């Protein structure tokens, strides 16, 4: 393989606090290092650890190397482990940066086609002060200044030679490379590629992970029911007095049927007929709230919640406006969500088509489901 990765995780992380080093603390339910290693999935990885961490590190399933007393000593241990593997390039990454993106990794590797080294950096945009005893003592020109990140990428033979020649105590591998006369290209870094240093950084990292892992789905539903003899109709869970009824195997709640199908659609679960076949006599005359509640339970079982939904009833009569608020509240009650996530409205078809001729009612619904 042309490119290998050294993940440096031998430090103790004293600024973070706590009994467990920060790279082993839980982030979104998994150790920080599990997230870090996942970013390099499919690549050859060497994990540099503290000797005390070997037992927990073995569960990660990657080759392990014990580090040294300093960061550059740990990096050299990782380089030595790769010395005879034939790798051409190497990425050196801090284990406490769990949010590095694959696109940044790819940009760094591409930069090695024309440079001996490449590293991500973010231009300093804030004013810089010098402080003494808690007071501002002066300012520093920020022109040409960057915030350094990892992974830092190098041609393997060049960075190995640079580390072997370096006296030690370097701030990072770019310093080692430059001391050996290597040119290091600056690749645009990412604000999300933060290093976990202080306790508050975990909250920021979890927020970023939630955003990356968010799964939003949308489904549409459409239903039609014809008028028949009767003195009321059920619409979105509300009994509305009318000169006619709606024909259907269940209670023919056309609005609730469309909404239920929208939720099933967002889950790629077909329609009501798949879950409640009209050929099954047990559903004869059934209340449509049973169908909607089932769809919501199915969504919850898969980790989804309702983002919002919108139901449009298409009919000349009965008039929906006086009942829309009650319909909104009833749908919200059945779905166990806040009413402001539910919209119910109506329109006519300007006397056109079957709805215009008052032969039946149509309903269109859209639902969004969110998992994060």
Per-residue pLDDT of 317-344, as tens digits, reads 999 999 999 999 999 999 999 999 999 9
In 11-133, which ranges are continuous DSSP H helix?
32-38, 54-57, 71-81, 102-111
Pairwise CA distance, residues 242 & 234, whole Å: 10
pLDDT of 278? 83
What does the alpha-carbon distance between residue 202 and residue 196 come to, in Å, rounded to a whole number?
Answer: 7
**Per-residue pLDDT at 14:** 62
Residue 364 pLDDT level (bands cut at 50, 70, 90): very high
- Lookup: tokens for 334: 């059945």
Q: What is the C-alpha to C-alpha distance for residues 174 and 170, in angstroms, rounded to an integer? A: 9
| pLDDT category of residue 371 using cuts at 50, 70 and 90 | confident
Per-domain residue ranges for the chain?
Answer: 3-213, 215-371
Report pLDDT for 210: 83
The contacts of residue 110 (CB under 8 Å, 6+ apart) are none
Same fold, 3-213 and 215-371: no
358 and 352 Cβ atoms separated by less than 8 Å: no
pLDDT band of 222, cuts 50, 70, 90 = very high
CA separation, residue 254 to residues 53, 119, 332, 344 (Å)? 61, 59, 17, 13
User: For 3-213, CATH number?
Assistant: 3.90.550.10
- Select from 284, 290, 287 the least CA-distant residue to 239: 287
Nearby residues of 253 by Cβ (< 8 Å), 6 or more positions away: 234, 235, 236, 237, 246, 288
- Angle, CA of 233, 236 and 240, to the nearest 5°: 30
| Chain segment 229-244, per-residue pLDDT in tens | 999 999 999 999 999 9
CA angle, 84 as apex, 82 and 90 as ends, to 5°?
35
Separation of alpha carbons 333 and 331, rounded Å:
5
Half-sphere CA count of 344, side-chain side, radius 13 A: 24
Is the per-residue pLDDT at 145 higher than 80?
A: yes
- C-alpha span between 67 and 76 (Å, rounded): 8
Buried b (16+ CB within 10 A) or exposed e, 194-208: bbbeeeebbeebeeb
Gyration radius of the chain's alpha carbons: 31
Q: What is the pLDDT of residues 28-80, one digit of tens each?
A: 999 999 999 999 999 999 999 999 999 999 999 999 999 999 999 999 999 99
**Residue where the block lists tokens 């973010």:** 122
Q: What is the pLDDT of residues 261-295, one digit of tens each?
A: 999 999 999 999 999 988 888 888 889 999 999 99
Q: 5 phi and psi, to 5 degrees?
A: -130, 135
> Counting beta carbons within 10 angstroms of the beta carbon of residue 315, is it exposed (0 to 12), middle (13 to 18) or buried (19 or more)?
buried
CATH architecture of 215-371: 2-Layer Sandwich (3.30)
Query: Across the chain, what does the average pLDDT equal?
Result: 95
Q: pLDDT above 70 covers what percent of the chain?
A: 98
Paired with 117 in beta bridges are: 154, 184
């Amino acid at each position: 393989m042309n490119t290998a990765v050294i993940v440096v995780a031998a430090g103790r992380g004293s600024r973070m606090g706590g009994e467990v080093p920060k790279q082993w603390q839980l982030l979104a339910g998994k150790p920080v290092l599990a997230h870090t290693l996942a970013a390099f999935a499919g690549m050859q990885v060497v994990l540099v650890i503290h000797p005390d961490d070997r037992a927990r590190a073995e569960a990660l399933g990657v080759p392990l190397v014990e580090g040294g007393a300093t960061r550059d000593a740990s990096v050299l241990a990782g380089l030595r482990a790769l010395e005879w593997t034939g790798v051409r390039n190497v990425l050196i990454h801090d284990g406490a940066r769990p949010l590095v993106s694959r696109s940044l990794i790819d940009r760094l590797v591409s930069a090695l086609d024309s440079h001996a080294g490449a590293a991500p950096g973010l231009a300093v945009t804030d004013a810089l002060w010098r402080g003494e005893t808690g007071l501002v003592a002066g300012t520093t020109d920020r022109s040409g200044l960057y915030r350094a990140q990892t992974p830092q990428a190098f041609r393997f033979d060049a960075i190995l030679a640079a580390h072997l020649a370096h006296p030690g105590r370097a701030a990072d591998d770019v310093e080692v490379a430059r001391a050996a006369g290597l040119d290091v290209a600056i690749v645009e870094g990412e604000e999300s590629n933060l290093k976990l240093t202080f306790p508050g950084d975990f909250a920021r990292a979890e927020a970023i992970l939630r955003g990356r892992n968010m799964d939003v789905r949308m489904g549409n539903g459409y239903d039609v029911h014809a008028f028949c003899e009767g003195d009321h109709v059920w619409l979105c869970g509300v009994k509305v007095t009318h000169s006619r009824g709606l024909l259907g195997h269940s209670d023919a709640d056309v609005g609730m049927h469309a909404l239920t199908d929208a939720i099933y659609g967002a889950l790629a679960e077909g329609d009501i007929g798949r879950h409640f076949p009209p050929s099954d006599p047990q559903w004869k005359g059934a209340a449509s709230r049973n169908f909607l509640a089932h769809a919501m339970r199915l969504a919850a079982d898969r980790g989804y919640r309702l983002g919002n939904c919108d139901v449009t009833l298409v009919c000349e009569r009965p008039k929906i406006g006086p009942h829309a608020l009650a319909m909104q509240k009833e749908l919200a009650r059945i779905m166990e969500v806040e009413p402001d996530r539910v919209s119910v409205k109506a329109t006519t078809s300007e006397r056109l088509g079957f709805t215009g001729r008052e032969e039946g009612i149509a309903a269109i619904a859209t639902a969004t489901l969110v998992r994060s």
